[in-house]
């Protein structure tokens, strides 16, 4: 699903201030894997995530997503990749403030050109799945952090993407709510067979993942199975 070879990301290339954020990443993630990426802030894990998600372009190396070389796509094709193949979940939820939960979930489908009635139907189904059906007409400022993140997960699933990319999805939540959100990811992985790439600070949550990749100073320093893989966040 994800193939990276000697991927680099540099800023201010060719100037004395040149910064290397990613210094040659070789990474292969197969379809249906649940991968946690851990590392300290500034380690480059978010940059890696943005490149995986076709939001950012690498400075060098190769990246293939589902067989498509991403670095050769134009703006429009990249938008299409983000729309159809990837579902983003952010630490700060990033819901559109003036739109209801339902409209937020519908948004990726609007961009995919799906007609109103099937779009609305699917959005309701996804919100029901996240136990948010009753609050679908609420606006983001009327929802708690955990509820917002569940709406955001429903939105990420809207166009049935191959990959879910979650950037510290529990970072803004208390630990109990965070665990509940983690359980949702585990369930989606189990039931929907999605490929999930999950960035976290929390060693505790990372241990629940079947595969844990640790990044330091822009390089992968370890790639192993989580010690409590297969368990539940609450358990």
Partner 1 sequence: MVENLLLSLESLRANKMRSFLTMLGIIIGISSVIAIISVGNALTASVTSQFAELGINNVTLGIQARSDGAASYDPNSVKVPKDSDRLSTAQIETLMQKFPEIETLSLSDEAGRGKARLGRKTSSVSLTGVNFGYAQANKVNLVRGRYIREADIEAARSVVVVSDRTAEAIYGSIDSAIGSRIVIYTEKAIKEFTVIGVYQYVQSGVQGVTAPGSELETGAYIPVSRAKKDMPYKNFMSLTVIPRAGTDLTLFTEKLSAYLGELYANNKEWEGYAYNMKSELESTNSVMNSLSLAIAAIAGIALLVGGIGVMNIMLVSVTERTHEIGVRKALGAQDSHIRLQFVAEAVMLSVMGGLIGIVLGLGLGFAGSALVGAPFELPVYVILGTVMFSMFIGIFFGYYPANKAARLNPIDALRYE
Binding residues for partner 1, per CB under 8 A? 50, 53, 55-56, 75-76, 78-80, 82-84, 88, 90, 94, 96-99, 107-108, 110-112, 155, 159
- Please identify, using beta-carbon distances, which residue of 126 and 233 lies nearer to partner 1: 126
Least distance (Å) between residue 160 CB and partner 1: 13
Q: What angle do CA 189, 181, 142 make, to 5 degrees?
A: 130
- Please identify, using beta-carbon distances, which residue of 99 and 202 lies nearer to partner 1: 99
- Please identify, using beta-carbon distances, which residue of 83 and 149 lies nearer to partner 1: 83
Q: H or E stretch including 86?
A: strand 86-89
Least distance (Å) between residue 9 CB and partner 1: 11
Q: Whole-angstrom Cα distance, residue 200 to residue 206? A: 7
Q: What angle do CA 195, 100, 113 make, to 5 degrees?
A: 60
**At 52, phi and psi to the nearest 5?**
-60, -40
Q: Whole-angstrom Cα distance, residue 22 to residue 24? A: 6
Alpha helix segments (H runs only) across 55-168: 75-84, 101-111, 116-129, 145-156
- Please identify, using beta-carbon distances, which residue of 156 and 220 lies nearer to partner 1: 156
Least distance (Å) between residue 140 CB and partner 1: 12
Least distance (Å) between residue 203 CB and partner 1: 26
């Amino acid at each position: 699903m994800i193939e990276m070879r000697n991927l680099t990301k540099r800023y201010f290339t060719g100037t004395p201030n040149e910064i290397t954020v990613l210094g040659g990443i070789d990474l292969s993630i197969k379809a249906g894997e649940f991968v946690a990426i851990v590392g300290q802030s500034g380690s480059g894990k978010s940059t890696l995530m943005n490149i995986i998600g076709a939001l950012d372009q690498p400075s060098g190396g190769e990246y293939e997503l589902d067989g498509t070389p991403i670095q050769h796509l134009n703006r429009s094709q990249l938008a299409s990749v983000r729309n159809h193949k990837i579902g983003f979940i952010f630490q700060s939820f990033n819901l559109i403030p003036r739109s209801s939960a339902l409209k937020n979930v519908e948004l990726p489908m609007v961009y995919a050109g799906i007609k109103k009635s099937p779009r609305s139907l699917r959005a309701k189904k996804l919100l029901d799945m996240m136990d948010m059906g009753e609050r679908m007409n609420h606006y983001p400022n009327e929802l708690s952090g955990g509820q917002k993140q569940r709406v955001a997960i429903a939105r990420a699933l809207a166009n049935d993407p191959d990959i879910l990319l979650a950037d510290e999805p529990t970072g803004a939540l208390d630990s109990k709510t965070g665990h509940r959100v983690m359980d949702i990811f585990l369930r989606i992985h189990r039931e929907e067979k999605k490929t999930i790439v999950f960035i976290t600070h929390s060693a505790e949550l990372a241990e629940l993942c079947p595969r844990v990749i640790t990044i330091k100073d822009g390089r992968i320093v370890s790639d192993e199975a989580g010690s409590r893989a297969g368990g539940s966040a609450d358990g």
